[in-house]
Amino acid sequence: MQHTFLMVKPDGVRRQLIGNIVRRFENRGFVLVGAKMMTISREQAERHYGQHKEKPFFGELVDFITSGPVFAMIWRGDNLIEVSRIMMGKTNPLEAAPGTIRGDFATYVGENVIHGSDSPESAERELENFFSTDELLAAGVLSSATDRIVINHV
């Protein structure tokens, strides 16, 4: 069992794709354990995409992700990080297979509808960046005993 962070990006919210995207993960058997609509600050966006700081598209990336509300979610399920990345499809929607979220809903790499953590380490970092301690506790992601975010469960 795993927890992960998924987020409908501003283009997906604007296009009213939240329900469709949530339904795909629920249909697959995953469980939504926390969610909120929020507009992220530039500081939060720069932290989220810190690994891309040197890339030529970094400014555009931060402009886009802060351009309107996102729908931030915490999900739980078996092999969730790997399976959610498959369900999202390739980063460039033009290379994403039909049937995947990006393959069905997007055409431009800069606006590709959904974000999902790519590893347990990313999931921990990203959940901490988007959710408060109280929200992580309520979602069952933060262990009150150890004060640590739990990504991988037995």
Dmax (CA) of the chain? 45
Window 55-84: contact mask with ligand GTP (x via CB under 6 A): --x--xx-----------------------
Q: Which stretches within 15-99 are classed as H helix?
A: 18-27, 42-48, 58-65, 80-88
Of residues 104, 129, 111, 119, the one with CA closest to residue 12 = 111
In whole angstroms, the minimum distance from the beta carbon of 99 to ligand GTP comes to 17
Which region among 19-27, 69-77, 114-122, 132-140 touches ligand GTP (by CB under 6 A)? Answer: 114-122
Catalytic residue among 3, 48, 52, 115: 115
For 56, the 3-state DSSP assignment is coil
Q: Which is nearer to ligand GTP, 99 or 110 (CB)?
A: 110
Told to judge if 115 belongs to the known catalytic residues of this protein, a careful annotator would answer yes
46 binds ligand GTP (CB under 6 A): no
28 is in an annotated binding site: no
Close Cβ partners of 106 (under 8 Å, ≥ 6 residues apart): 11, 93, 96, 112, 113
Using CB under 6 A, which of 13, 116, 123, 127 touches ligand GTP?
Answer: 116
Burial class (CB in 10 A: 0-12, 13-18, 19+), 66: middle
Report residue 73: phi and psi, to 5°. Answer: -135, 150
The answer to whether residue 91 forms part of the interface with ligand GTP (CB under 6 A) is: yes
- Interaction site with ligand GTP (CB under 6 A): 52, 57, 60-61, 91, 109-110, 112, 115-116, 118
Residues forming the active site: 115
